[in-house]
């Protein structure tokens, strides 16, 4: 029995109870269109909010080309001892406790502050520097070895590094970064009081001296402060037109390197004592003032930057790297209060503004929200520290606090900011050329494949299973093929690098030789101009001046022909002929006589031949002259130039450069002698 297919229809909507429908309304009710169901579709009930269901994609790992090391910002906290002013406060007590890497802030026993429970904070390092007799006491050397040495290691690897001290005013930031007396050589070099910055510099040059001979290192330093949101160079003696204050510098943005300071002086140093002089000089120029917490409180943020450049030979893996280390001593935060000093109020507002912006940036980076705006440009400090906060740098933070209950609010604020900063992630990259990076990665890949091949070969030698050996052999063949391809890529990359290096070196030599040649030509023209006996009248305009100068320095065609005839006759008669500044000098070495001929006053056409002309010359006995004249000096030097001209090399660039230097030295020698013989000359400019 056949059955007809069953049709499913959606029932009509029911009318509301108690409301009868008319015939017209019934006719308007129609059957809804059938909806084609998609197999395996996921629907959302109408009683819930609609959601989009999709399979999450696999998140791919970032390439090593983007960054080499990804790590959180390392945070250390240092607790200083209570000072005399805090101990003088009635009821003041120590409220900070240390347990391993944790800091516990206890509520004070006798206080009206709203703190009724313990606050616990965890950090990477905690330095307890209250009682020197306690074995847990952290000295200056302990602080440097813990947070300073890792930054130095990162700098030699090619990473940018940064360390900044953050905390309340008078909490020990400058003491930890610089030392007790920042302007004293004895305290800066003292093992007891020396801070992180001088210890970092001493260890830097110590490691430089231990490097191999094929490694060339350059160290450049700069030192500046941010005072009232303005940048001042601490190593430059520049003032404004009134001479009352330093000239503020401007910040610009480089598309690749990031923010930089325009006209900031950078000094190349070879030794630590040389660097120490710049460090002490900058500390003396830094703005300080007396506060309630510190008699010599820093009123500006200071940044001491060290640029370390390393270059090695061609056969080394690490060819050239450049890293930058920033050691930052921030100004202390404080409450403004009711100060009547306008300058002090302005300083406090600027300090708190930059520190507030720094806190906002730390909070925004700690939230780790995608496409979240980070207010770097709201302050000069955060703009310059942009790469150090979540950028291309390995950064550490040293938070300094006071254990006194009188500063409990400031201590808790500092500890909270330090906890937030610990969650910031920096992605640092080794600062090297892309081609050097490619060679380094290819060599690492070759070593990895070779180790993998050795491992498979050892496993195949121990196994007796034929099926396992077949599989293992196929994998070994695949690894060998990949290894061969990688080695070929490495060889090609090395050849390209060496070719570019040689081309760059040849271009530098060629440019240097051209510069020397151009310089020699200019000096030669000036030398000839100085040797002219007559005074010159030249036009002040450029084109006319060059034309007139060209006329002075060059001879006419007829004069050149006549000079060649005279030289030929002198060579045939064993005479020496020299020419300079329109004067011919003929020397008879046998009879020790010479003759001077002004070229513009002589005409060879009046005589039948050159011999008749030269026989009419007046000869002067050389023995009668007791001192050299300018003409004799010029004649002698021209003979040397003629001999030197015959030794000029043709193709060798190194010899060409050496030839130019010898020629330059001879010209300096000639100019020095002539300057002692010539009288002063005048140059008159016609303005008509």
Helices (H), 554-607: 557-572
What local confidence, expressed as pLDDT, does residue 224 receive?
Answer: 93
pLDDT band at 470 (very low <50, low <70, confident <90, very high): low
Highest mean pLDDT: which of 208-222, 459-473, 528-542?
208-222
Summarised one tens digit per residue, pLDDT across range 99-134 is 888 999 988 877 655 666 888 999 999 999 998 888
What local confidence, expressed as pLDDT, does residue 96 receive?
Answer: 92
Highest mean pLDDT: which of 67-71, 418-422, 521-525, 665-669?
418-422
User: In the predicted model, what is the mean pLDDT of the chain?
Assistant: 75
Q: Which two tokens stand for residue 230?
A: 């303005």
Q: What is the mean pLDDT of residues 562-577?
A: 76
Cβ atoms of 630 and 599 within 8 Å: the answer is no
Which H or E element spans position 74? Answer: strand 74-79
What local confidence, expressed as pLDDT, does residue 122 receive?
Answer: 93
pLDDT band at 542 (very low <50, low <70, confident <90, very high): very low
Report the alpha-carbon distance of residue 129 to residue 108 in Å, rounded: 21
What local confidence, expressed as pLDDT, does residue 128 receive?
Answer: 92
Percent of the chain with pLDDT over 70: 66
Q: Which position has the higher pLDDT, 399 or 211? A: 399
Say if residue 569's pLDDT is above 90. no
Q: Which fold has domain 69-431?
A: Kinesin (3.40.850)
Say if residue 167's pLDDT is above 70. yes
Task: Tell me if residue 306 falls in helix, strand or coil.
Answer: strand
Is 148 annotated as ligand-binding?
no
Residue 94 makes CB contacts below 8 A (sequence gap 6+) with 82, 130, 403, 404, 405
Say if residue 95's pLDDT is above 70. yes
Give the range among 18-32, 50-64, 68-82, 570-584 with minimum mean pLDDT: 50-64
Question: Which class for 264: exposed (0-12), middle (13-18), buried (19 or more C-beta within 10 A)?
Answer: middle
Is 537 annotated as ligand-binding?
no
pLDDT band at 477 (very low <50, low <70, confident <90, very high): confident
Q: What is the mean pLDDT of residues 429-439?
A: 70
Is 173 annotated as ligand-binding?
yes
Give the range among 60-74, 242-256, 422-436 with minimum mean pLDDT: 60-74
Record the pTM.
0.58
* CA distances for 636 relative to 250, 553, 568, 627, 642, angstroms: 57, 20, 18, 14, 10
Q: Which two tokens stand for residue 283?
A: 């500390």
Which H or E element spans position 329? Answer: strand 320-329
Tell whether the torsion through CA atoms of 575, 581, 583 and 589 is positive or negative: negative
Is 167 annotated as ligand-binding?
yes
Is 682 annotated as ligand-binding?
no
Cβ atoms of 536 and 686 within 8 Å: the answer is no
Say if residue 525's pLDDT is above 70. no
What local confidence, expressed as pLDDT, does residue 362 receive?
Answer: 87
Summarised one tens digit per residue, pLDDT across range 369-391 is 777 788 888 889 999 988 888 88
Summarised one tens digit per residue, pLDDT across range 130-159 is 988 888 899 999 999 999 999 999 999 889
Q: What is the mean pLDDT of residues 251-257?
A: 81
Is 464 annotated as ligand-binding?
no
Give the range among 63-72, 263-272, 510-519 with minimum mean pLDDT: 63-72
Report the alpha-carbon distance of residue 521 to residue 664 in Å, rounded: 10
What local confidence, expressed as pLDDT, does residue 603 receive?
Answer: 52
Percent of the chain with pLDDT over 90: 20
Give the range among 440-449, 471-480, 543-552 with minimum mean pLDDT: 543-552
Say if residue 183's pLDDT is above 60. yes
Is 170 annotated as ligand-binding?
yes
What local confidence, expressed as pLDDT, does residue 54 receive?
Answer: 35
Give the range among 176-185, 334-343, 483-492, 591-600 with minimum mean pLDDT: 334-343
Report the alpha-carbon distance of residue 163 to residue 151 in Å, rounded: 8
Q: What is the mean pLDDT of residues 620-642?
A: 73
What local confidence, expressed as pLDDT, does residue 336 receive?
Answer: 58
pLDDT band at 469 (very low <50, low <70, confident <90, very high): low
Say if residue 245's pLDDT is above 70. no
Q: What is the mean pLDDT of residues 533-545?
A: 48
DSSP H helix total and E strand total for the chain: 18, 24
What local confidence, expressed as pLDDT, does residue 682 receive?
Answer: 54
């Amino acid at each position: 029995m056949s059955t007809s297919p069953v049709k499913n229809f959606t029932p009509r909507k029911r009318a509301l109870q108690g409301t009868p429908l008319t015939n017209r309304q019934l006719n308007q009710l129609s059957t809804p269109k059938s909806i084609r169901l998609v197999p395996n579709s996921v629907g959302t009930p109408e009683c819930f909010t609609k959601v989009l269901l999709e399979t999450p994609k696999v998140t791919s790992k970032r390439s090593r080309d983007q960054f080499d090391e990804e790590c959180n910002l390392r945070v250390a906290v240092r607790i200083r001892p209570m000072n005399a002013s805090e101990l003088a406060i009635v009821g003041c007590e120590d409220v900070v406790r240390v347990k391993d890497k944790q800091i516990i802030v206890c509520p004070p026993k006798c206080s009206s502050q709203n703190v009724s429970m313990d606050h616990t904070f965890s950090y990477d390092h905690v330095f307890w520097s209250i009682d020197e007799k306690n074995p847990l006491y952290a000295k200056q050397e302990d602080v440097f070895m813990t947070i300073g040495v890792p930054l130095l290691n990162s700098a030699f690897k090619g990473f940018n590094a940064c360390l900044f001290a953050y905390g309340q005013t008078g909490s020990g930031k400058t003491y930890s970064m610089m030392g007790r007396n920042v302007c004293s050589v004895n305290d800066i070099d003292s093992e007891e009081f020396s801070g992180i910055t001088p210890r970092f510099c001493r260890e830097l040059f110590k490691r430089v001296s231990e490097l191999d001979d094929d490694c060339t290192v350059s160290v450049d330093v700069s030192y500046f402060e941010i005072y009232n949101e303005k940048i001042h160079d601490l190593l430059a003696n520049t003032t404004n037109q009134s001479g009352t204050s330093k000239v503020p510098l401007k910040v610009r943005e480089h598309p690749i390197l990031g923010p930089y300071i325009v006209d900031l002086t950078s000094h190349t140093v070879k030794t630590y004592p040389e660097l120490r002089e710049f460090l002490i000089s900058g500390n003396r120029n830094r703005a300080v003032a007396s506060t309630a917490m510190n008699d010599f409180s820093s009123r500006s943020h200071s940044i001491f930057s060290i640029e370390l450049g390393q270059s090695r030979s061609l056969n080394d893996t690490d060819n050239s790297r450049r890293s930058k280390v920033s050691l930052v001593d921030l100004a202390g935060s404080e409450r403004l209060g009711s100060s009547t000093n306008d300058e002090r109020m302005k300083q406090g507002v600027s300090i708190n503004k930059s520190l507030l912006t720094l806190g906002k940036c730390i909070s925004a980076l700690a939230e780790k929200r995608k496409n979240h705006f980070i207010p770097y440009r709201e302050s000069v400090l955060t703009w310059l520290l942009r790469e150090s906060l979540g950028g291309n740098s390995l950064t550490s933070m040293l938070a300094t606090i006071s254990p006194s209950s009188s500063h409990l609010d400031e201590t808790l604020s500092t500890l909270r900011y330090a906890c937030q900063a610990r969650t910031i992630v920096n992605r640092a990259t080794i600062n090297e050329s892309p081609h050097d990076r490619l060679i380094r990665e290819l060599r690492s890949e070759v070593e990895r494949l070779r180790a993998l091949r050795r491992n498979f070969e050892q496993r195949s030698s121990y196994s007796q299973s034929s099926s396992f050996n077949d599989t293992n052999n196929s994998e070994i063949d695949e690894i060998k093929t990949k290894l061969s391809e990688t080695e070929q890529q490495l060889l090609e990359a090395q050849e390209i690098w060496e070719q570019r290096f040689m081309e760059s070196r040849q271009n530098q030599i060629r440019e240097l030789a051209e510069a020397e040649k151009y310089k020699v030509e200019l000096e030669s023209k000036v030398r000839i101009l100085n040797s002219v006996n007559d005074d010159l009248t030249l036009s002040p305009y450029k084109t006319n001046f060059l034309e007139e100068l060209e006329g002075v320095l060059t001879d006419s065609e007829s004069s050149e022909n006549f000079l060649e005839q005279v030289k030929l006759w002198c060579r045939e008669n064993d005479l020496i002929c020299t020419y300079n500044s329109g004067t011919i000098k003929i020397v008879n070495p046998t009879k020790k006589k010479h003759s001077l001929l002004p070229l513009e006053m002589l005409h060879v056409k009046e005589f039948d031949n050159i011999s008749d002309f030269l026989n009419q010359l007046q000869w002067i006995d050389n023995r009668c002259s007791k001192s050299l004249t300018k003409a004799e000096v010029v004649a002698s030097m021209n003979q040397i130039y003629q001999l030197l001209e015959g030794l000029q090399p043709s193709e060798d660039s190194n010899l060409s450069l050496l030839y130019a230097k010898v020629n330059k030295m001879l010209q300096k020698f000639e100019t020095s002698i002539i300057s002692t013989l010539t009288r002063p000359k005048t140059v008159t400019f016609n303005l008509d």
